[in-house]
A = this chain, B = another copy of it.
Amino acid sequence: MNFTTLIGLLGAACTTGSFLPQVIKTLKTGDTKSISLLMYCILDFGVVLWLVYGFIVGDLPLIVANIITFSFVSIVLVVKIRNG
């Protein structure tokens, strides 16, 4: 693997993995007051589009990253809808 690919993979790992601390915090506290509902709706929709794109072009890393991101974002979204 070359340097450029490593930078891209590390970027993908960070942007996808970054949502995990938010998921943990949200599940622990149940507090979603300062979180934007609209952000998580648009974000989840965008991630689904990325997923569709990944399936069409047959890009496995894109598919895997977006399935994980979709799961994380959806958990926060569900708690936000329930708790407001």
A→B interface (CB under 8 Å): 4, 7-8, 10-22, 24-26, 29, 31-36, 38-43, 45-50, 52-53, 56-57
Contacts and interface: CB of A to CB of B under 8 A. Distances in A.
B53 A7 contact: yes
Contact of A14 (B13, B16, B24, B45): B45
B46 A13 contact: yes
Given A47-B11, A57-B4, A36 B42 contact: no
A48 to B, nearest CB: 8
Which 9 pairs across A and B sit closest by C-beta, in order of nearness?
Answer: A14-B46, A11-B49, A21-B38, A18-B43, A18-B42, A15-B46, A22-B36, A11-B50, A22-B39
